[in-house]
Amino acid sequence: MSNPLTRRDFAIGSAGFGLAGLNLAWGVAPAATLAEAEQASRSATSPAVADADSVDPYSLVDPELLPALKQFPAFDLSLEMVGKFRQLPGMPPSPAPAPQPVERHIPGPPGAPEVRLWVVDPAPLEKGKPLLLHMHGGGFMMTNPMLMPQIQGIATDCHCVVVSVDYRLAPETRYPGALEDNYAALKWVHAHSAELGIDRSRIAVGGESAGGGHAASLAIHARDRNKEDVPICFQLLIYPQLDDRTGSSNPAPPAIGNFMWTASANRLAWSSLLGVPAGSSRVPAAAVPARVASVAGLPPAWIGVGAIDLFVEEDMEYARRLVHAGVATELLVARGAFHGFDLLVPDAEVSKQFSASWKSALRKAFSAGKAV
């Protein structure tokens, strides 16, 4: 029997990386894929590390977050660690009366396997409910071990059906495999709105970290394939992973990206997803939300990120682009907060304010109920 994991262990995984020091087996894709991804992640030295003497990164952390953060030693993410993490058990669902997740399998993209979904419905007898199509975090390469209680909480707090997509992971599946899985799920919830008891005009997409990046990509893809009539009313982007160039061709300033998710981890994650080195000219623009030429016509968005999160600059820039394109956008930058802070220390005041903000934004979007 596996040893039970602590909440901090789950929080680490949800924020996007695995745990060190576990003696589990690893097996994955062809060696060439692994070698290229590993090489890309080590191809540059993070400026945050190189210039560490210029600023004490711990001095920038919110005091309520600091004790928990200091329990974790710094380390570089590797594909070996990803493999170990994948074998850890997930946290079980919260017991009733919390709404229980139901596993569904739907047709996948042409030529691809079925897509597994987890459906949580807080009010099965009600009709015309809103729905959040959720994509989990995990650096494109892992699942979220806190997924079940997390989506149960969203369904209860926001009174919406939550459908979470178990999309295929990198590096075994490269772009656009996960995007195609997520799009198949979006088409399925539209086509099965009566069965799900939902209002098709109130379907939002969202996720945290890599899941936020997948949600942004899905919104772009749905806009570009608007002839299929799968409108989205809102994007919920929780510290989303939006730009492969962060930490590679766009160096990270010394004050950000020192904790939980670093520049080297970001290079490994993006290189694994794309199959080419992150930040290089070989990256297809359509694969990366920050590289897409136009963000006009996208659904309204809420974007939240910590001020010392590696993603803070790319998330602020994406919000700026949305605003300039006439997309209704709310941006929250949480002072003293690193990547995944709200999962690691959920009772901190900054975490409670952050969670309250995105939940309020999601409820307001569902109340407005206007898809684009």
Catalogue the active-site residues: 209, 309, 339
Q: Hey, what amino acid is at 113?
A: P
3-state secondary structure of 168: coil
Residue 60 CB contacts under 8 Å (≥ 6 apart), including other chains: 255, 307, 308, 336
CA atoms within 13 A on the CB side of 26: 16
Cβ-contact 1, 89 below 8 angstroms: no
Beta-strand pair 198-208/161-166: unpaired
Cβ-contact 338, 308 below 8 angstroms: yes
C-alpha pair distances (Å), 139 with each of 19, 93, 221: 13, 22, 20
Report d(CA 295, CA 66) in Å as an integer.
37
Q: Which residues of 250-284 are buried (b: 16+ CB within 10 A; e: fewer)?
A: ebbebbbbbbbbbbbbbbbbbbbbbbbbbbbeebe
Residue 274 CB contacts under 8 Å (≥ 6 apart), including other chains: 174, 175, 244, 283, 284, 287, 288
Report d(CA 305, CA 344) in Å as an integer.
14
Residue 25 CB contacts under 8 Å (≥ 6 apart), including other chains: 83, 87
- Phi and psi at 278, nearest 5°, equal -60, 140
